[in-house]
């Protein structure tokens, strides 16, 4: 099969007939063998009934329904597990992503040598302060932290080689940073394509202000796991040792001043009356806890069933 189109959705009943008709028209014209996988992420409207009706007309359509709303990451992960196409396309169900872009995405994956191609909505029709400015800030932060030169990490319109979607795991709010997960898994050929962004035709956006907090936290999680997931002692052990040594040195200075004063028969205040004593003690305790955290993390990592789960490119 040439193409799998994965469409996560939540309460998009009005847009689904137009979307599947548009996808079918474009892919049929380009003579692709294809499937469309729609994942109903706990919709409370008529979305699932619409998918059932469309299934009778479009045999390429496959529907998956969640019992409740688990989030876009869960929907994409499930869609990726079921995708059979050589090229996997993801797009939103709100008609803001155009299926007309799919052939060029497929060409970039097949003939351009890319593992992943991300869309870039260079001109957006979203509210400036509610979505545009926060998105620009998050994308700038993601570029700086990951080293991946993409302008729009969160664009729903993306294309992947099948082996990419089978080699990554998406959870939480990490659908925003799939390129980072792909790079971590060893897929370094990541490209970008400017796509046309269309105004929402039906319904309202499903993303609230909570994403502004969840997005950066998930980015930090990805960066931590990618660097120290299999060697936590390298981070916590180093921080713990430095903090403990700093506290020990400060305690030694405070103690030595007391000893020198006693040696010279000079009346000196109690060591415990110095604020530096408590700072030193706090640093030594925190350093010990950080070191123990790294030690416990190392034990857990060594016991993990995936401790030697490396991504093999090919075998002879």
Q: What is the pLDDT of residues 136-158, one digit of tens each?
A: 777 787 788 778 888 888 889 99
CB 93 within 8 A of CB 7: yes
* Nearest CA-CA partner of 32 in 120, 133, 105, 122: 105
Using CA of residue 281, residue 284, residue 288, residue 290, what is the dihedral sign? positive
Q: How many other β-carbons are positioned within 10 Å of the β-carbon of residue 68?
A: 7
pLDDT at 127: 55
Other Cβ atoms closer than 10 A to 243: 20
Which pair of structure tokens corresponds to residue 226? Answer: 């990618």
Q: Are strands 87-90 and 158-161 parallel, antiparallel or unpaired?
A: antiparallel
> What's the pLDDT band for 208 if we cut at 50, 70, 90?
low
pLDDT in tens, 218-270: 667 766 766 676 778 888 899 999 999 999 999 999 888 888 888 888 877 78
Domain boundaries, the chain: 3-228, 232-303
| Distance of alpha carbon 109 from alpha carbon 131, whole angstroms | 29
User: How many Å separate Cα 189 from the centre of its chain?
Assistant: 17
% of residues, the chain, pLDDT over 90:
52
Q: What span, in angstroms and rounded, lies between the C-alpha atoms of 96 and 73?
A: 19
Rounded mean pLDDT of 297-313?
Answer: 61
Residue 313 has pLDDT above 90, yes or no: no
Per-residue pLDDT tens for 6-62? Answer: 999 999 999 999 999 999 999 999 999 999 999 999 999 999 999 999 999 999 999
- Tell me the whole-structure pTM to 2 decimals: 0.74
Q: Please, which pLDDT band fits residue 312 given cuts at 50, 70 and 90? A: very low
Residues whose CB falls within 8 Å of the CB of residue 232, separated by 6 or more in sequence, listed in order = 293, 294, 297, 298, 301
Closest CA to 60 of 79, 86, 92, 33: 33
The total of other beta-carbon atoms located within 10 Å of residue 35's CB is: 19
* Sheet (strand 61-65) strand order: 61-65, 34-40, 3-9, 87-90, 158-161, 116-120, 190-194
DSSP 8-state symbol, 130: I
What is the dotted CATH code of the domain comprising 3-228? 3.90.550.10
CB distance 67 to 42 below 8 Å: yes
CB 5 within 8 A of CB 36: yes
DSSP-assigned letter for residue 124: -
What is the Cα–Cα distance from 280 to 285, expressed in whole angstroms? 9
Mean pLDDT of 195-204: 75
Within 10 A of 171 (CB to CB), how many other CB atoms are there?
Answer: 13
């Amino acid at each position: 099969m040439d193409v799998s189109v994965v469409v996560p959705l939540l309460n998009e009943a009005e847009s689904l007939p137009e979307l599947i008709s548009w996808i079918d028209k474009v892919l049929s014209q380009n003579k692709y063998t294809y499937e469309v996988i729609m994942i109903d992420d706990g919709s409370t409207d008529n979305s699932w009934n619409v998918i059932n009706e469309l299934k009778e007309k479009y045999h390429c359509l496959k529907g998956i329904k969640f019992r409740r709303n688990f989030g876009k990451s869960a929907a994409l992960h499930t869609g990726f597990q079921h995708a059979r196409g050589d090229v996997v396309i993801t797009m939103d169900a709100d008609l803001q992503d155009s299926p007309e872009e799919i052939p060029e995405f497929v060409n970039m994956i097949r003939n351009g040598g890319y593992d992943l191609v991300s869309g870039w909505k260079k001109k957006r029709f979203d509210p400036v302060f509610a979505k545009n400015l926060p998105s620009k800030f998050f994308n700038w932060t993601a570029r700086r932290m990951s080293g991946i030169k993409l302008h729009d990490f969160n664009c729903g319109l993306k294309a992947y080689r099948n082996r990419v979607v089978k080699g990554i795991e998406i959870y939480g709010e990490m659908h925003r940073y799939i390129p980072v997960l792909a790079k971590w898994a060893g897929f370094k050929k990541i490209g970008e394509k400017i796509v046309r962004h269309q105004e929402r035709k039906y319904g309202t956006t499903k993303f609230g202000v909570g994403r502004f907090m969840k997005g950066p936290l998930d980015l930090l999680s990805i960066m931590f796991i990618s660097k120290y997931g299999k060697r936590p002692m390298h981070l916590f052990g180093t921080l713990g040792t430095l903090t403990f040594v700093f506290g020990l040195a400060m305690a030694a200075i405070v103690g030595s001043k007391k000893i020198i004063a006693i040696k010279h028969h000079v009346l000196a205040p109690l060591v415990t009356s110095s604020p530096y004593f408590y700072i030193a003690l706090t640093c030594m305790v925190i350093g010990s806890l950080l070191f123990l955290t790294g030690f416990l993390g190392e034990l857990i990592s060594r016991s993990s069933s995936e401790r030697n789960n490396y991504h093999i490119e090919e075998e002879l």
